[in-house]
Amino acid sequence: MRSFHLLVGTVVVATTALILFQNCSLTGHPFRPASWRAPVDENTLGSGGVGNPVIPEAGKLCPELDPRINAVQVERISPARATALRGLIQSAVPGTVFLLEPGVYPISETLQMNTPGIGIASTTGRREDVILDGNYNSGSVIEVSAKNVTIANLTIRKSYHHLIHFVDNGIGGRVYNVKLEDARQQFVKSSSVTTASDNVEVACSEFQLTNSGRPHVDSDSSDCYTGGIDAHRSRGWWVRDNQFRDIYCTNGGLAEHAVHFWNSSRDSLVERNIILNCARGIGFGLGQTRESVGRTYSDYPNVGVTATTYIGHIGGVIRGNLIIANTQNRFDTGIGLEQAQGALVHHNTIVSTDASTFAALDIRFANSDPEVVNNLVYPKVFNRDGGSAKTYIMNVSVEPGFFMADDKWLLRLDPENPDVKTKIRDQGVVVLGSEIDLDGEDRDAKPDPGADELPPLK
């Protein structure tokens, strides 16, 4: 099926572009203009090549967030008051923002953010200046159970359960410019009993499992019970412009995805994330039938209730993500769709040089019927157990040789490579919602498949 695109000529492409433009619509999300992106550690990521820094538009997608805007009250906290923080948050009036001065804040008991509109951030705006350290004590570091809570500009590390756990009613939450490091279980979790935490934005943040954190991963609940974002029964999340790194286990267990929405989640928008050396990239749904209590919607009344009508994920968009693995025996799947109905998979680059890779893209079970357009994939795409793409065009099979030779992360295509010139540059079709590439640059009128629009020809 993948070879089909190579035969598509210009006329067909133009026609298809028109049809696609008319048919594509974002399921649930209006187009949200990109606003900002976090700076990237270029020492780790490599130079990018062709005179481009890795993120040439740094700042455009991720401008600085000042949490004092719209705050009803601002409370300044020093590390000396770390032990008082929990009680102060507990008794805060709605709209209070806690600004923490630089330092390490030991968190021995979960911070319960259960008042609407409250926030926590550093005084400096730099995430490395303030560290909430759970030291694997117990529970989660932060639990969110109220609307419009903001967590920004700081670091959270070493949780026994989750670094941030959205429980009931955490609607409209925002996780912004946060460094999330070393969770024993999933880094950001959403699970609810009564009211799901919908419309949460996780943006411009960095998730990393370090070598020193990896031995702490929970291997009792499953062999490798961790992952980046793990959201059950959640609707309308927006996960954008983040980095996920090294979320894998070395004990033979398979980590959950860097970004995973399942158990009848809906309308997730996952865009422009960089996912490096994680065991699995992005997942919508998991398994053929429900594993725990799913969620129903008025227009999908039985979707989460009975095994025969189960849908793992409804709608949603996965676009402009860069999913790279160059490790060995760690990488399983780039994008996994399991009972994921109506997903749009556009302009992603998925490349693995890991010999144990199962699939760049895995389309599984009968409800999975994605529209797959303008992706770069290597090595394999699978349709299995009755799953198949509804639309599959202009997806190009790339090889590591297509990328810059001095770029160990395979972040940049080599514009001089003959295959890049003929198979990728300007060969995509116009897809609504993908106007901005991974760098925050506008795509030209002839889009290039993959996450990055190539620099113009000189």
Letter for the amino acid at 29? Answer: H
Residue with tokens 């059950």: 232
Shortest gap between Cβ of 151 and Ca ion (angstroms)? Answer: 30
What are the C-alpha distances in Å from 73 to residues 9, 102, 170, 278, 300?
60, 20, 20, 40, 42
Q: Which is nearer to Ca ion, 265 or 374 (CB)?
A: 374
Chain position whose Cβ is nearest to Ca ion: 439
Does 444 participate in binding Ca ion (rule CB under 5 A)?
yes
Shortest gap between Cβ of 272 and Ca ion (angstroms)? Answer: 11
Q: Which is nearer to Ca ion, 61 or 142 (CB)?
A: 61
Q: CA–CA separation, 434 vs 304, rounded Å? A: 31
Q: Which is nearer to Ca ion, 109 or 426 (CB)?
A: 426
**Quick one: which segment of 140-148, 172-180, 378-386, 449-457 binds Ca ion (CB under 5 A)?**
449-457
What are the C-alpha distances in Å from 425 to residues 297, 394, 431?
42, 11, 16
Does 407 participate in binding Ca ion (rule CB under 5 A)?
no
Shortest gap between Cβ of 326 and Ca ion (angstroms)? Answer: 21
Does 437 participate in binding Ca ion (rule CB under 5 A)?
yes
Interface pick for Ca ion out of 223, 369, 426, 435 (rule CB under 5 A): 426
Shortest gap between Cβ of 425 and Ca ion (angstroms)? Answer: 6
**Quick one: which segment of 84-92, 113-121, 249-257, 434-442 binds Ca ion (CB under 5 A)?**
434-442
Interface pick for Ca ion out of 256, 267, 332, 448 (rule CB under 5 A): 448
**Quick one: which segment of 241-249, 284-292, 377-385, 440-448 binds Ca ion (CB under 5 A)?**
440-448
**Closest to 275 measured CA to CA, from 33, 60, 443, 438:** 438
Site string for Ca ion, 189-208 (x = CB under 5 A): --------------------
Total residues interacting with Ca ion, rule: CB under 5 A:
9
Does 452 participate in binding Ca ion (rule CB under 5 A)?
yes
Site for Ca ion in 244-303 (CB under 5 A): none
Does 133 participate in binding Ca ion (rule CB under 5 A)?
no
**Quick one: which segment of 94-102, 274-282, 286-294, 418-426 binds Ca ion (CB under 5 A)?**
418-426
Q: CA–CA separation, 349 vs 276, rounded Å? A: 12
Does 414 participate in binding Ca ion (rule CB under 5 A)?
no
Largest CA distance in the chain: 68
Q: Which is nearer to Ca ion, 399 or 444 (CB)?
A: 444
Q: Which is nearer to Ca ion, 248 or 409 (CB)?
A: 409
Does 446 participate in binding Ca ion (rule CB under 5 A)?
yes
Does 442 participate in binding Ca ion (rule CB under 5 A)?
no
Q: Which is nearer to Ca ion, 101 or 441 (CB)?
A: 441
Q: Which is nearer to Ca ion, 86 or 446 (CB)?
A: 446
Q: Which is nearer to Ca ion, 17 or 107 (CB)?
A: 17
Does 241 participate in binding Ca ion (rule CB under 5 A)?
no
Binding residues vs Ca ion (CB under 5 A): 426, 437, 439, 441, 444, 446, 448, 452-453
